[in-house]
Structure 1
Amino acid sequence: MAYLGRLWESYNHYFTLEHVMELLEQYRGFGPLPGILLPMAEAFLPILPLFIFVIANTNAFGLWLGFLYSWVGACVGALLVFFLVRKFVRGRLANFIGRHEKVKKMMIWIEKHGFGPMFLILCFPFTPSAAVNLVAALSKVSTNQFILAVLAGKMVMIFTMSFIGYDLRALVEQPLRSVIVGVVIFLLWIVGKRIEVRLQTNVKQRDH
Structure 2
Amino acid sequence: MKSHKSKNKPTMSSGQIRIIGGKFRSRKLKVLDVAGLRPTTDRVKETVFNWLMPYTSNANVLDCYAGSGGLGFEALSRYAENVTFIELDNLAHRQLAENIKLLNADNTQLFNGNCLEVLPKLTGNYDLVFIDPPFRKDLASSTCHLLEELQLLADDAVIYLEVEKELTNLELPLNWQILKEKNFGQVTSYLLQR
In the superposition, the TM-score normalised over structure 1's length comes to 0.27
Between Structure 1 and Structure 2, which shows a larger proportion of strand residues?
Answer: 2
In the superposition, the TM-score normalised over structure 2's length comes to 0.28
- Give the greater-gyration-radius structure (CA): 1
Between Structure 1 and Structure 2, which shows a larger proportion of helix residues?
Answer: 1
